[in-house]
Amino acid sequence: MNFDAFFNDKLEGLKKEGRYRVFMDLERHVGQFPKATRHVNGEQKPVTVWCSNDYLNMGQNPKVLAAMHEALDRCGAGAGGTRNISGTNHYHVLLEAELADLHGKEAALLFNSGYMSNWTTLSTLAAGLPNCLVLSDAGNHASMIEGIRHSKAEKIIFKHNDMADLEAHLKAAGPRPVIIAFESVYSMDGDFGKVAEIVALAEKYGALTYLDEVHGVGLYGKRGGGLAEQLGLMGRIDVIEGTLAKAFGVVGGYITGSAALIDYVRSFASGFIFSSALPPSVAAGARAAIQHLKQSQAEREQLHARVKQVREGLTRMGIPYLPNPSHIVPVMVGDAAKCKWISDYLLEHDGIYIQPINYPTVARGKERLRITPQPCHTEADIAHLLKSLNALWMQCALARQVA
């Protein structure tokens, strides 16, 4: 078999559909974000980034950078191995305590990414609990889906945010271990999960709740504990999972829960046991970001003010976007090739970088530009974005949204 010919044929298919993913070679500059430098064909071009998940710009925060420098100078670059052999550093211990406190839990456990924390934890819990059934929201992230699949436990996908459908499955499950897996903020549509309603059903039927707060931590709640904190529900949720790579500005994932549950995952999860630990400098930076956001409301307030400004501008111009209560602004295009073309045009002609979101991240026909306004975007940045989008919608005779 000509393997390269096979690979190239499949890649060509992606390109024809407009779904081929191009990585942008960007260089962020401390203190200047969302401005960045784009490296292309030996040239350097300025861009304004509108699709970063560093939602609160904590990756640029002086406290975070200082903590990382201090830990790097004190401990060196790497952790030295897996946590159980030689990789547990005091900064990991301090960060796990900080995370447990953030979510009001007895314990926390670090992973190398949010994807890994979801995949590993759900696969370990569902595989270990005897005759376990997993009820998974239809909108759940790929990391949750893959973890559940890997467990080989029975799974049922309930309709997104449909409590009648969920309760019907809970009733039918009978007396067996059940895990309900769901999210607080769904990252592509920007809608909230029905956290209170799901928790109430879980308590009624004795199910274990697993909440992904990846797009909620840092952004919601008085101390940045996520949507569950904002709703006053953290104490009623069994597992709260989150990331350090978005609102906290570094990299890594984690889970929080009871001491027994966390110790069980720590002791049985191969994805944790056999992975090298996060560098101490990363743990130090994450801890500094969490500590800051537990005290400061300024970043959250500025973020939501910017989101409101962008939405109001889009509404005035009739550019279609999905209304939602979160910080995510999905501008709907509905065609993969057109979505890619718009993204490329904005980049080349206006210096605006918004990555197109196509299948399989979203369903076919739901292609979009996923805009994430941030505290660092200025009034001038917003005006430039709106003017550029309006001109494109006129030029391409794209459908407008009637208010």
Residue 190 contacts by C-beta under 8 Å, 6 or more apart in sequence? 322, 324, 325, 326, 327, 328, 329, 330
Residue 264 contacts by C-beta under 8 Å, 6 or more apart in sequence? 124, 125, 128
Cα 38 to chain center, whole Å? 24
- Cβ atoms 55, 327 nearer than 8 A: yes
Q: What are phi and psi of 87, to 5 degrees?
A: -100, 0
Per the document, the length of the chain is 403
E strand or H helix at 140, and its extent?
Answer: none
Compute CA distances 276 → 81, 144, 150, 249, 272, whole Å. 5, 22, 21, 21, 8
Told to judge if 155 belongs to the known catalytic residues of this protein, a careful annotator would answer no
What strand order describes the sheet that includes 329-332?
329-332, 368-371, 356-357
Active-site pick, 10, 15, 204, 246: 246
Would you name the residues annotated as active-site residues? Answer: 246
